[in-house]
Amino acid sequence: IISVPGNDHVIFNNSFYYATKKANAIFVNKADPTNGELQGTSIRLTSCDTSARNYLYKSEKNHVDVMSDENGVWAICALEKSNNTVVWKFNTTGTFSVERAWNISVRHQDAGDMFIICGILYAVDNVTAPFTRIR
């Protein structure tokens, strides 16, 4: 059994991906889901803001959101000293590494949540209202 705190984890292609925060830095890790052993090096998400004043989303609970779609594993975080959002795409085959990162001028504090489907980023305006908008 793997014990990882938080809510930023996903299983993709028989590997377990999760985020950790250490010394004001955010890392994404790849592990074996059966025993928790790391598979490769943890990836530091540079430029992600870990301060209490710049949480990701309106809920102000997370600094990073890890997710997957049919294209692979992704992470979203707040950009340091900015209202922009950073989207990371990881190479999950072979060496675990950053495939690409985008600095997107989407104000993450205005979103209730974000998700990626078919490589497209969507923002949900509100996750608690009975009616909302997805952009």
pLDDT digits (tens), the chain, 135 positions: 566 766 678 999 999 999 988 888 899 999 988 888 888 889 999 888 887 777 888 777 788 899 999 999 999 998 888 888 999 999 998 889 999 999 998 887 888 899 999 999 999 998 888 998 998
Contact 12, 92 (CB under 8 A): yes
Contact 66, 58 (CB under 8 A): no
pLDDT recorded at residue 5: 63
Pairing of strands 85-91, 113-117: unpaired
Sign of the dihedral through C-alpha 71, 105, 99, 74: negative
pLDDT recorded at residue 2: 65
pLDDT recorded at residue 110: 84
How many percent of the chain have pLDDT more than 70? 95
Strand segments, DSSP code E, in the chain are 9-12, 15-22, 25-31, 43-44, 64-69, 72-78, 85-91, 97-104, 113-117, 120-124
Contact 8, 64 (CB under 8 A): yes
pLDDT recorded at residue 99: 95
pLDDT recorded at residue 86: 93
Contact 114, 65 (CB under 8 A): yes
Q: Both tokens of residue 39?
A: 């598979």
What gap in Å lies between CA 83 and CA 42, rounded to an integer?
Answer: 26
Q: Find the angle CA(132)-CA(64)-CA(123) to the nearest 5 degrees.
A: 20
